[in-house]
Structure 1
Amino acid sequence: MLHPPPLRVLVIMPAWNESETVGATVREVLAQPAGYDVLVVNDGSTDDTASVARGAGATVLDLPYNLGVGGAMRAGFKYAVRHGYDAAIQVDADGQHDPRDIPLVLNGLRDADISIGARFAERGDYSVTGPRKWAMVFLAKVISGLARKRLTDVTSGFKAVNRRGLAQFIDHYPAEYLGDTIDSLVVAIKSGCIVTQVPVEMRPRQGGTPSHNPFKSAIYLGRSVFALLFALTRKRSALPAPDPVAGV
């Protein structure tokens, strides 16, 4: 039986002032047996994020100023396409995404174009409360209906894409905080991308300052609904021929 050739996978790590954690996270990813390439997208950091990441062994793409995670990820996706990668996966620089789960999320690409590492899928004890929880439940129900598949964590940043997903996200990955996960995901589904999810376990943040605070949580629900409604009005886009990733 012939086996597919080894696939080139790029781990994209958006980082804004993550000098405390990015080095350890990069080293942990590089220590995985599969030998992934790591691209740290330094999102206009004012600390030593870039030098720490380089010292740990990552390739670093420096953005001139802070674009937000959406802008950083779009830059990373473009890098992946230009350098011929077969798949890309986002891993946060703060250490919350366990690098040991990267193969699990990538395996979802055997039958899908986008594979989400889901935090609320019967693994681990990660939880949210208040407006953020209401928004996540609402978004998951609506997008599950669009995808015709039960999805529990559509706002997860721990997700992998194959070449079809990369082509879609390069064109439709906005820089808004919530839009990077909702708008682009909805358009991808409407355009024919297959989405799946894989249970993963989140870890405590290893250092630095969380991006959420009570004020942001209070407006999360309103922004969620707006982003979803906007995404539902957007037109679908043409996709390359189906390209599920086999043998990851």
Structure 2
Amino acid sequence: MSHRGLILLVLTGIALFATAYLISVVVSELLCQNREAAIQIALLRHQADEEAAGQRRKELLLILPAYNEGENLPGLLKQLKEAGVGETADLLVIDDGSADRTYEQAKLLGCGCIRAIFHLGYGSALQMGYQYAARKGYRYVIQMDSDGQHDPCNVEALYRALREPDADGRLPDIVLGSRFLPGGQSFPIPWVKLLAIRLFRLALQGMVGQRITDPTTGLQGLSARTIAFYAGYGNFDSQYPDANMLLQMLLRGFRVREIPAVMHGRRLGKSMHSGLRPLAYLFHMAFSMPAVYIRETLLRRGQDGGAQDL
């Protein structure tokens, strides 16, 4: 094959990948509108239940997104209770249209639960929790998985870190629980996920100059500023909220801090990262992170140019 033919083949491949990504973005936007409507319906239904119960609130909300976690949820909620988490935080399970008894288990164990009318996806389940927290005026949110991978001991550590200023007296906007920092504990990670973690770590350091050891962690603590931003329409990736969201927040000036975290392997049920999903996730991030970087850079330049015109 000639050099010209090889160049043409490479350009064709890039064009096909770019076209596929653009199509996925358009489809994602259409689906996002449906998800937003479903989120509002679920929140309204839960609001009616709350008003009837007359519940009081703390300043910290613990969000537990769950999809078919009926087997894992009772054990996790028991551990959270034994760790005294209920004394400092309100617990909220986001049942993402589960086909098992996730919702019934949460209610049976006395935990608040918002139930989606159909399966929305992990990102939309999280945003449902953010919107709830923003409307109810919570100062802090901690999110952790419902499959038992995130140890309950992390809740107090994240809550403390959210309220501790750094050397310059500034509070963090996002606190990440990292399994890779000294003092953290992890479990065997599939090679695709481990490769993604290393690539995203390098990408973040190259794009924003900050080293994040665990850019794919789902164990996070959020400030009121971050909660309000994530609750806004279009501000949060409803499909794959991961390193792309960290990149967006760092580029927008949000302060991100990491602390060691204790994590375990999944006990029961099926992981959302099984099958071909890790490859689809890696493909999405490969386009999403550069797109986020370009978008945020252009927005910042536009804002700087507008300020100069004034």
Higher RCO by CA contacts (8 Å cutoff, separation 6 or greater): 1
Q: Which amino acid aligns with 2:64?
A: M
Identify the residue that residue 266 of structure 2 maps to in structure 1.
205
Partner of 1:242: none
Q: Could you tell which deviates more after superposition, 202-211 or 87-96?
A: 202-211
1:79-228 equivalences under 5 Å are: 79-109=132-162, 110=164, 111-122=171-182, 123-171=184-232, 172-176=235-239, 178=240, 180-228=241-289
Answer whether contact 1:14 1:42 (CA < 8 A) is retained: yes
**Secondary structure of the corresponding residue to residue 296 of structure 2:** coil
**Alignment check: 8 A CA contact 2:188 2:265 kept:** no
DSSP 3-state at the match of 1:235: helix
Q: Aligned residue pairs: how many?
A: 231
Which protein is bigger by CA-based radius of gyration?
2
TM-score (norm. length: structure 1): 0.85
Structure-2 separation of matches of 1:206 and 1:108: 28
Whether the 8 Å contact between 1:147 and 1:194 is mirrored in structure 2 is: no
Gaps of 5+ in 2: 1-57, 165-170, 301-310
User: RMSD over aligned Cα, in angstroms?
Assistant: 2.2
- The alpha-carbon deviation at position 145 of structure 1 amounts to 4.2
Segments of 5+ residues of structure 1 without an aligned counterpart are 1-6, 239-248
d(CA) in 1 for partners of 2:82, 2:266:
20
Deviation, structure 1 residue 146 = 4.5
CA shift at 1:156, angstroms?
Answer: 0.5
The 3 A distance-change label for structure 1 pair 21 and 155 is same
Moved more, 7-16 or 180-189: 180-189
The aligned residue for residue 30 of structure 1 is: 81
Superposed CA offset, 1:35-85 (max 9, x none): 121000010111110010111121010111111110000000111111111
State whether residues 207 and 293 of structure 2, in contact with CA within 8 Å, keep that contact through their aligned partners in structure 1.
Answer: no
Which piece of structure 1 moves more, 28-37 or 158-167? 28-37
Give TM-score, length-normalised by structure 2: 0.69
* Preserved CA contact (<8 Å) 1:14 1:93: yes
2 CA distance for matches of 1:112 and 1:22?
30
